[in-house]
Structure 1
Amino acid sequence: MSRTPRTRRSAYRALASLAVLALTAGAATACSDNGHAAKHPATSSASPGSGKSSEAELHMIDNGGHRLAFYVTRGSGSTIVLDSGGGEYSSQWKNIVPGLRAATGATVITYDRSGLGRSDVVPGRWKVESAVSDLAAGLKQLGVTKDVTLVSHSQAGEIATYFAKGNPEMLSGAVLVDANLPQFFTDEEIPRLVAATKPEVDAARKDPEKPENRQLLATADGFATAHRAFHKLSWPNSVPAAVMVSEKTPFAGSPEDAQHWRDAAAAFVQEAPNRTLVTAEGTSHEVPTQRPDLVLKAIEDMFDTQH
């Protein structure tokens, strides 16, 4: 397994994906769009057997005074929701949505979390409870109330855990792609993560209005307290889950942290018989963009098992 240290930007992405720092250069720029049901070609897909293109519709959802961009590729019956990693937004799934819609016939939804993509910036620190509220509000306003397969990369694993805990009846299954899991954030690991990111946080404080710095600071603020609480959570046994772990993990340069990441995933899976563990061989943490085929297969397998 490679232990080659990443570049500075890649290190930022790994940390962002762990929810330590939500930072991706250029990805945090919020764009304003007043349209409703506008076309989003990047996530176009083909309807099974129709031979016709089915493009995603953009819906601007209001939740507590801020708007969020949800992209809906219409299908029938079931719904698959794709939730991006830290600092990423809906375009992270552009190479997965078309094949997923064609293979399953389900409605596929992606969205931009607050402060990212077309969604409004919400000042203050990043709160997982607010992110869960945004996702729940979006699905409710889109009329999605059951039979959801939730696919979550990295930081979105935290959102998935809180969402599943509060809304287990909505979920038919979940695929957690190199995702944050409660088991990882121990009292020993949290200080290590905070210390590792301190130089980047300090540098970001010098220019807090820069979009990527804003995301970084919002996630770093209150990190330790938030993740001690996250560590106490448990995934509902009624919701099946597939856990995909990248071979290199987000810690290619730190064997100790990498092993802890793998151990946390294994511990999560061992807690219930309806959970499976898959190692994405040869991949870094950027599994959705690096190996969309592996993610697509994992989602199809979960979807087929539940339908």
Structure 2
Amino acid sequence: MTAKTLRSTKVRRTAIAVGVAAALTGVLAGCGHSGAPTAAHPAASTPAKAVTGAASTLHMITNQGHRLAFQVTPGHQPAIVLDAGGGLDSSYWKDIVPVLAKNTGSEIITYDREGMGASDAVPGPWKVQNAVSDLEAGLTALGATHHVILVAHSEAGEIATYLTRQHPGQFAGAVLVDATLPQFSTDTEIARVAAAGQAQVDAVKGHPATKADRQLLAVAADYVADQRAYHRIAWPASVPATVIVSEETPFPTSPSDAEAWRTAQGEFAEAAPNRRLVTAAHSSHDIPVDRPDIVEAQIEAMVNTAG
């Protein structure tokens, strides 16, 4: 299998998972998160240079009975939190973290969502409210409770939307990198994405050998209901956001879906005066890999705006 084929496979998987996780938290976004975190605390910290390429520290934080791996590169406020897309872990940001650390001097936090990287797997369908609880617990344990810059790629846009709705005062701004946004999850697009992904889901069911495959199945379990709920919520008006949309979108072989994706990104950006839209030319859905310069520049601009 060639490198191009491998990347195409990853993009297709992300495209399916991109919308799925986004919906469930929408139900709970206006009324707080589903249950308080249990025993959230950092365990003994150990150096973890492999993930960031810089002097970082691993914190294993327990929430609702499972452990989550958070990587912290020390620095000043505002803290920058990087959340990767579906089927990806903290290593996705390994080339960007050292650049941000050098250029901003900010504390940088990355983490592995449940079932990915060094974090424990949780059985059953993927629930966005649980993912929100996990990130909320980690940031609380690490003291990143105000003036945070949140960076969300792909599926992580759903988590970011629900988390900022619950705690708008915690975030000074966000950079949404080809992120799942509520505007995309119309009935038409939900049906199209679900239908397009069914063959892949059926194929994976027989042998969910990888962490990404297991997450795909977990996300697909409640996809339609989740996305319908997500479509009904909105990003908090008080939190500034920069939206970076890829040239190819997650749907490079489907012009109609790609146009719907671009339209949703534009509608989101136009919905409030403290938002802006940036197009990443010559980029697939994996903008942090294809055009890290754009991602880094927009994060640094948000940090400067936040002061």
Matched letter for residue 122 of structure 1: V
Q: Could you tell me the TM-score, scaled by structure 2's length?
A: 0.88
Percent identity over the alignment is 51
Query: Residue deviations 1:119-156, cap 9 Å, x none?
Result: 00000000110000000000111111101000000000
Q: Which residue of 2 aligns with 1:13?
A: 14
Query: Residue deviations 1:147-195, cap 9 Å, x none?
Result: 1000000000000000010010000000000000000000111010100
Q: Which residue of 1 aligns with 2:90?
A: 90
Q: Which residue of 1 aligns with 2:167?
A: 167
* 2:44 pairs with 1:36: yes
CA RMSD, 1 decimal = 2.0
Matched letter for residue 45 of structure 2: A
Alignment of 1:53-92 (within 5 A): 55-92=55-92
Seen in structure 2, the aligned counterparts of structure 1 residues 81 and 96 have a Cα distance that, compared at 3 Å, is: same
Q: Measure, in 2, the Cα distance between the counterparts of 1:291 and 1:41.
A: 23
Matched letter for residue 42 of structure 1: A
Q: Which runs of 5+ in 2 are unaligned?
A: 23-41
Classify the secondary structure of the residue corresponding to 1:59.
strand
Matched letter for residue 36 of structure 1: A
Q: Which residue of 2 aligns with 1:266?
A: 266
Q: Measure, in 2, the Cα distance between the counterparts of 1:167 and 1:138.
A: 14
Q: Which residue of 2 aligns with 1:296?
A: 296
Query: Residue deviations 1:91-127, cap 9 Å, x none?
Result: 0001110110111111000000000000000000001
Q: Measure, in 2, the Cα distance between the counterparts of 1:99 and 1:294.
A: 12
Contact 1:72 1:109 in 2 (8 A): yes
Q: Which runs of 5+ in 1 are unaligned?
A: 22-33, 46-53
Q: Measure, in 2, the Cα distance between the counterparts of 1:7 and 1:150.
A: 27
Matched letter for residue 217 of structure 1: L
* Aligned positions, number: 284
Matched letter for residue 259 of structure 1: E
Deviates more, 1:108-117 or 1:92-101: 92-101
Contact 1:20 1:197 in 2 (8 A): no
Q: Measure, in 2, the Cα distance between the counterparts of 1:104 and 1:98.
A: 10
Matched letter for residue 241 of structure 1: A
Matched letter for residue 236 of structure 1: P
Q: CA deviation at 1:230?
A: 0.4
Deviates more, 1:297-306 or 1:239-248: 297-306
Q: CA deviation at 1:74?
A: 0.6
Q: CA deviation at 1:292?
A: 1.2
Q: Measure, in 2, the Cα distance between the counterparts of 1:71 and 1:20.
A: 23
Q: CA deviation at 1:60?
A: 0.1
Q: CA deviation at 1:289?
A: 1.4
Contact 2:79 2:106 in 1 (8 A): yes
Q: CA deviation at 1:16?
A: 3.1
Query: Residue deviations 1:228-277, cap 9 Å, x none?
Result: 00001101110000000001111111110011001001111111000000
